[in-house]
Structures are given as structure tokens and as C-alpha cells.
Amino acid sequence: MIKKLWEKLKKTREKFKNAILRITKRTDPDAISEMEEVLIESDMGVKTAENLIEKLKSTRREDYLTVIRKSLIEKFSVSQTEECLPPCVYLFVGVNGVGKTTTIAKLGKRFTKMGKKVILAACDTYRAGAQEQLNIWAKRVNADIVLSQYGADPASVAYDAYNAAVNRKKDILLIDTAGRLHTKHNLMEEMKKIKRVLQKLKPDIPQETLLVIDATVGQNGLSQAVEFHNALTLTGIVLTKLDGTAKGGIVISIAEALGIPIKFIGIGEREDDLIPFDPYEFIDAIIPEKMEV
């Protein structure tokens, strides 16, 4: 797993590596401002980059790497996975195309491999093909599914799915939702309604409300996170498409700005390309202790 993370985060790592190696070897005053630029470009956020640079100004060059790694790791809040009485409900939200449905498939596979009984709820009744897409994944990852008609009320599909999960004695219910409606306002209202309806069934569900963000959009992901968090009180973030981007620093930006734990990261399109987020592993993969390696 860690080897895979290392491979997939190559682009972000290369970016940091070039900057850090450059700056540690130079003594001219421009080196540090160049470093700041690279940190900002990696999408870790202007504030984080500035704070880090301030720290570096009073740090010996040979200690740069240690200081950078330590300060970044400190940004992450630790996520505790609480035990829940089955069926545990995960609601996935996010704008269109970020990877919600794929993440559900990947997570479904993780859980079925752990011996859990998984059921999916196809609450995207909006986008053409969404029902069929989730149905194909359900078969592939060995999960049960509750499908619906296009145009149906997603909240009532979620309601039915929870009841099905209880009746069929499932351990985990993963709820897929639409990414685009006529307006952003409609999307938020629809997500809030799903949550309200579930909470009427049982006040402590969904146990997880996870926002899926596409890492390649960089700082835009941060504004999405703020908006969704205000509307839905998120419990975590899934950051997808970290493979193929040098913008891996967005993880740090989000963790710092919102204090919401990053729960999983997506590093590819296949079923196994989802990893539970571990701040230490992540920092090791983007800013390793030994840069020359």
C-alpha cells in the first residue's frame, strides 16, 4: 500500500524535491522566496506557506527538511473512527465528476473484503446513466443495491435504502448522490433533505457525511469544502485523483482551513485505488526524510 502511495504521489513529490534541494544548496537570499512560490504552487495555501517560510528563516539549512515535515504533519487532525451499530450509514456528497460513485465502489470493495455486508443506495436520480453505473459497480464489488427511477426524490430513495439495509441485515450503507442539479442551491437543499429524512429514521445517521473533492482542482476544492461544510456539517473528506497531479498540497490546505479530517484518498480509477489517509504516510510520500533517494 505504502509503495503504491509513493508511486502515485510522484508528481507532487518531485515538485517538493526540486524546490527543497534547490534551496538547501543555495545561500543567496532569493532562494527562500522561490521556496515560498513552490509551496504556494503545490496548493498548500498561502497562509500555510507563509508560516512555513517564517519558520525556515530562523532554521539552519540542514534542518529545513525536518522542520517542514514536522510543521505539515501537525496540521492534520486525527480522525477517530467510532464504532457504530449496523447498518452504518455513509453519505457521499460533492460536485459533479469528482469521483463520488467510484469512491463508493472502492470503499464497498474494501468493506466486502473485510467480510462486511454492504448495500449501496443509488440516490443520483438526476444524471442519465447514474443508476446503471452504480449497479455495475455493485455487481463488481459484491454489494447489494437499492435502485430507483430517474426523477424520483433522492431523499425517499435514501429512506427506502436504510430500511432495506435494516431488513436485509447489512453492516454498511453507502449512499451515492447527484453532483449537479439546476443550481448549486438546489444541490445543497437536496443533500440537506436526504440528511433530514435519514435523521428522522434514526437521529445518529448518517454516521459519516463525506465530501468528495477532486485534488486536481487545487484551491477550488477548498471553497467547495467550506460551502458543503456550512450546509451539511461534514465528518470527513475524500480527496480523489491525487495520482496524476502535482497539487497534492491541497490536502494540507483543507486540513488547516477546516479542521475536517481527510478520511480517504483516491489514487487511481481502479477498485483498489483508495487508501485510508494517514498523515505520516502521506508526508513521507511527498516530502521524504531523505530527499536524495
Could you tell me the smallest distance in angstroms from the CB atom of residue 98 to Mg ion? 9
94 contact choice in Mg ion, ligand GTP, none (CB below 5 to 8 Å, kind-dependent):
ligand GTP
Q: Is the peptide bond before 87 cis (omega within 30 degrees of 0)?
A: yes
The answer to whether residue 98 forms part of the interface with ligand GTP (CB under 6 A) is yes
Q: How many residues bind ligand GTP (CB under 6 A)?
A: 21
Q: Tell me if 125 contacts Mg ion by CB under 5 A.
A: no
For Mg ion, the closer CB: 12 or 131: 131
Residue 115 CB neighbour total at 10 angstroms:
7
Residues 236-255 that bind ligand GTP (CB under 6 A): 240-241, 243-244
Query: What's the closest the beta carbon of residue 224 comes to Mg ion, in angstroms?
Result: 15
The item of Mg ion, ligand GTP, none sharing an interface with residue 267, based on CB under 5 to 8 Å by kind, is: ligand GTP
**Of the candidates 15, 24, 5, the residue with the CA atom closest to the CA atom of residue 65:** 24
Q: Which of residues 77-106 bind Mg ion (CB under 5 A)?
A: 100-101
Residue range at the interface with ligand GTP (CB under 6 A); choices 92-100, 108-116, 165-173, 200-208? 92-100
Q: Rounded distance, CA 115 to CA 185, Å?
A: 39
CB 118 within 8 A of CB 111: yes
Q: Is 118 helix (H, G, I), strand (E, B) or coil?
A: strand
At a CB cut-off of 8 Å and minimum separation 6, what does 1 contact?
275
Tell which one of 13, 15, 75, 100 touches ligand GTP (CB under 6 A).
100
The alpha carbon of residue 39 and the mean position of all alpha carbons in its chain are separated, in whole angstroms, by 21
What residue 224 binds from Mg ion, ligand GTP, none (CB within 5 to 8 A, per partner kind)? Answer: none
157-172 residues labelled b (16+ CB within 10 A) or e (exposed): bbbbbbebbeeeebbb
Sign of CA dihedral 32, 37, 43, 49: positive
C-alpha cell at 82: 467510532
Task: Tell whether residue 269 is a contact of ligand GTP (CB under 6 A).
Answer: yes
Kindly tell me which of 101 and 253 has the beta carbon lying closer to Mg ion.
101
Residue written as grid cell 470493495: 109
Give the footprint of ligand GTP on this chain (CB under 6 A).
Answer: 94, 96-102, 124, 127, 130, 179, 240-241, 243-244, 266-269, 273
